[in-house]
A and B are shown apart, each in its own frame.
Chain A
Amino acid sequence: MAALNLNTLVRQAHEQNDYDSLISLIPYAKLIGIECLRLGDDVVFRLPANKDNIGNPILPALHGGVIAGFMEHAAMLHLLMFMGIPHLPKIIDFSIDYLRAGHYRDTYAQCQVWRQGRRVANVAITAWQTNQTEPIATARAHFKVDEP
């Protein structure tokens, strides 16, 4: 595949307030179904309820790995959208605490970049469903953000 011009794609997405083209670049994000909502200067990521994302058939609840994958991808998109990085950040480590069951319903995530260095960025991610003050999971991740 030809080299991606991510800066152009990100600029167009911001201008048109439509992040679908940015999201559809990544097959995994399409598989689990990530969406991006712009709220003023903030951005919230949404994972619509999808039967294919269920891990616990009893509750039913989303697979913990899907919640983690959603949060990891939200962090990566957040870095692309706001930190001016011209290529895809690479995951170094990812650590997640599960606080509540992730029920079979829409899930949201918001990110905070605590530190962006020349080579590495540190991002905290919070995910919730019915109420932002009752997160279902918190996570933090390091990404490599210099040249691949």
Chain B
Amino acid sequence: MSDNPVLERAERFLSALRHCQVLGIAVHEAVPSGLTLRLPYSTQIIGNPESGVIHGGAITTLMDTTCGISTVCVLPEFEICPTLDLRIDYMRPAQPHKDVYGFAECYRVTENIIFTRGYAYQDNPDEPIAHVVGAFMRMGKGAQGDGALKRNIQGGA
């Protein structure tokens, strides 16, 4: 048995998402109370060529992924949970040449919906660059076509 099954499931989940591999997103920390992913700074995700600040779309991808995968922190087994909606409020611009971390937690889990919230930060979680809330739909255990991915993410369980 692994010391941290939540971390292993988060890492397997993330490794299945091709666009996240393109951006180089990695699991920073995964514990039952929440998930933190890291988006490395790179010139390919710049949104403002004058300042080198990264594009809001890359932050949205980081936070959509963090909120989506944070469901493994609360669900006993893997379920497909598509995003219903996502809102991002930008507190301050990200600083260029620095990685961005995304944290998310599930603060309410119902039979059908998972409500998540989180924030993106660079050096200091107390000075976030963005706040986010997102709702995710639970498709249920028998969702069509999730068998192979589920086995993969559960680790063959």
Task: Knowing A3-B50, A64-B83, A95-B85, say if A28 contacts B58 (CB, 8 Å).
Answer: yes
Q: How long is the Cα–Cα vector from A62 to B148 in the complex, in angstroms?
A: 19
Contact stretch, chosen from B2-10, B26-34, B40-48, B117-125: B40-48
Closest to A101 in B: B82
Residue A66 at the chain B interface, CB threshold 8 Å: yes
Q: Is the CB of B17 within 8 A of A57?
A: yes
Residue B20 at the chain A interface, CB threshold 8 Å: yes
Q: Is the CB of A68 within 8 A of B61?
A: yes
CB B119 to nearest CB in A, in angstroms, measures 14
Name A65's contact: one of B18, B46, B50, B62 (CB within 8 Å): B62
Those of B50-66 within 8 Å (CB) of chain A: 50, 54-58, 60-65
Q: Is the CB of B50 within 8 A of A98?
A: no
Name A73's contact: one of B54, B55, B61 (CB within 8 Å): B55
Task: Knowing A57-B18, A63-B19, A94-B88, say if A28 contacts B47 (CB, 8 Å).
Answer: yes
Residue A86 at the chain B interface, CB threshold 8 Å: no
Closest to A4 in B: B50
Q: Is the CB of B18 within 8 A of A27?
A: no
Q: How long is the Cα–Cα vector from A3 to B62 in the complex, in angstroms?
A: 29
Name A51's contact: one of B16, B18, B57, B145 (CB within 8 Å): B18
Those of B78-98 within 8 Å (CB) of chain A: 80, 82-90, 93
Chain B residues in 8 Å Cβ range of A49: none
Residue A54 at the chain B interface, CB threshold 8 Å: yes
Name A32's contact: one of B43, B49, B56, B57 (CB within 8 Å): B57
Closest to A90 in B: B93
Q: List 10 A-B contacts (CB under 8 A).
A: A1-B50, A26-B55, A27-B47, A63-B19, A63-B64, A65-B60, A65-B64, A68-B86, A69-B60, A72-B55
Beyond A52-B22, A55-B65, A68-B61, 18 extra complex contacts between A and B, CB < 8 Å: A3-B50, A4-B49, A27-B46, A27-B47, A27-B49, A32-B57, A54-B19, A58-B145, A64-B61, A65-B62, A66-B57, A69-B61, A72-B60, A88-B48, A92-B89, A98-B82, A98-B83, A98-B86
